[in-house]
Structure formats: structure tokens, C-alpha cells
Amino acid sequence: MCGRFDRHTPIPWVAGAYFGITEPVESGSARYNIAPGTSISTVRQEDEDVEFPLMQWGFRPSWAGDEAPRPINARAERVATSRFFSHAFQHKRCLIPADGWFEWLTTAHGKQPYYITDPSQRDQDVLFFAGIYSGNAVAGLSVAILTEPAAPNLRPIHNRQPVVLDPASRYDWLDPGIVERTEIKRVTRRLDPERLDSWPVTPRMNRPDYEDPAIIEPVDGKLDA
């Protein structure tokens, strides 16, 4: 799953480096401990334009009532057939830029948080989580991150992970003209999971209000369930 992540790379840099956009975009501050229910930076395509709106992390279809759940994740295995998610999967796909995410390993001493990222990234670079969204700029936008079974190198920490896309498929994933399930799957390419690594981080990050760049630095610990 993905219940907490980090995005400190500036969104204007993402807009320029990956989408060739140089005019001002919503920047937002660096966030090292992003929690569900907050507004997060996203990338979507409307007609021919790539946009960078803020969306509430907690998906709710526009037809659902106020009492409907607001899931933060959507299982990739079911998203195309779920009544709750299928329309968004066909027509409202987005990207969530992130530098990494957190998972918790259950140990004999309690739950130890781990940070997962691509350590080969340059000083400014990002991962792209696959997302789906609902709503509009007037009523508000909400988003969920797609998840899938964890890659073998991450499975000892948690059995699921975000769908991390190869940046080369970013335009195909965003393309609102691609709506057929088989075609979406064909053009969706994952980042090589061997590029991802993990290390234990401070338990202070368990508090959603704890924001500090040191939150992603390794601490003493070992992966022992």
C-alpha cells in the first residue's frame, strides 16, 4: 500500500524537466511526510494541456454521496472493473510526483518505518506514482494512488507497493484518448523495481505533523521480522 510519502523535489522543476513547461505552475513547499486527507501535487492532462493541480488524497467519485468512503489507494488488479474506480481508470488518470514512500515493518520491537526510493536519482528527480482522480476545479479534485503486489526486493517490508511508472510512459498514462483497458495496460510500463532500495528511518515520522528533511535519512536498524 502507500499510506505516507515524501515529495521535496520542486514541482516547477518537474514541469520543466519532464513536460517542457516553463511558465509558472503551482509550486507548493517541500513535504517530507505527506499524509492521507491532505492536498497533494499531481499531474493530469486536460485536452492537450498538461496541468499540475492540487488534489485531496482520498478518492470519491463525483456520483458518490458525502457518506461514501474516501480510499487513498486503489488496487491495480481491480481498478478497471470496480464500479467505484473504473470510470476514473478509463478517463481520469494522473501522476503523483514523489521522491519516495514509507512502509512499516512489524518487528519484535514494534513497527519500524522504512523509506523506499531510487537512490540513483539525481539531486532533483522524482518517481511517478500512477493515480486516478475524480471531480473538477470547481467542486474539488480527489485522488487515489494505484497499488500492486510488492516487488521481491520490497516484499520483506510490505506485501504491496505503489504502481511506480517508468517516466517514458508518462504521456501514455495521462492520455485521455486511451480508454480501452487492454490498451491502457499495454502502454503502462513500470519502473524497474531493482532500482528501488529501502532503509529504516526515525519512528518520529509516525506523527503526520513531523516534517523535517532528516525524516528520510537512515537510522540504525535491520530488517528482521
The average confidence (pLDDT) of the chain is 92
Q: Is residue 138 pLDDT above 80, yes or no?
A: no
- β-strand partners of 161: 148
Range of the domain at 137: 5-102+124-196
Mean pLDDT throughout 60-73? 90
**Which of these, 213, 224, 7, lies nearest to 111 by C-alpha position?**
224
The verdict on residue 182 lying in a domain is yes
Least confident of 90-99, 107-116, 213-222: 213-222
Q: Which pairing describes strands 54-57 and 5-7: parallel, antiparallel, or unpaired?
A: unpaired
Contact in structure between 128 and 167 (CB atoms under 8 Å)? yes
What pLDDT, on the 0 to 100 scale, is given for residue 153?
Answer: 95
- Asked whether the predicted pLDDT for residue 53 surpasses 50, the reply is yes
With cut-offs at 50, 70 and 90, classify the pLDDT of residue 123: low
User: In the chain, pLDDT over 70 holds for what percent of residues?
Assistant: 96
CA dihedral (150, 222, 202, 197) in degrees, to 10, reads: -40
pLDDT, one tens digit per residue, over 11-52 is: 999 999 999 998 888 767 899 999 999 999 999 998 889 999
Tell which residue, 9, 192, 35, 197, has the closest CA to residue 115.
197
The answer to whether residue 87 sits within a structural domain is yes
Q: How many structural domains comprise the chain? A: 1
CA dist 58 and 145 (Å) reads 9
Q: Is residue 203 domain-resident?
A: no
Place 222 in a pLDDT band, splitting at 50, 70 and 90.
low
Q: 119 lies in a domain?
A: no
Residue 212 lies in a domain: no
pLDDT tens track for 154-212 = 999 999 999 999 999 999 999 999 999 999 999 999 999 999 999 999 999 999 999 99
Alpha helices in the chain (DSSP H): 11-19, 86-91, 170-174, 181-187
Domain-located, residue 224: no
pLDDT (average), residues 146-152: 97
- At 48 the pLDDT is 85
CATH of the domain at 132: 3.90.1680.10
Indicate the pTM of the whole model: 0.94
Q: What is the structure's pLDDT at 200?
A: 96
Whether the CB-CB separation of 121 and 150 falls below 8 Å is answered with no
Give the C-alpha separation, 143 to 79, whole Å.
Answer: 13
Q: Is residue 33 part of a domain?
A: yes
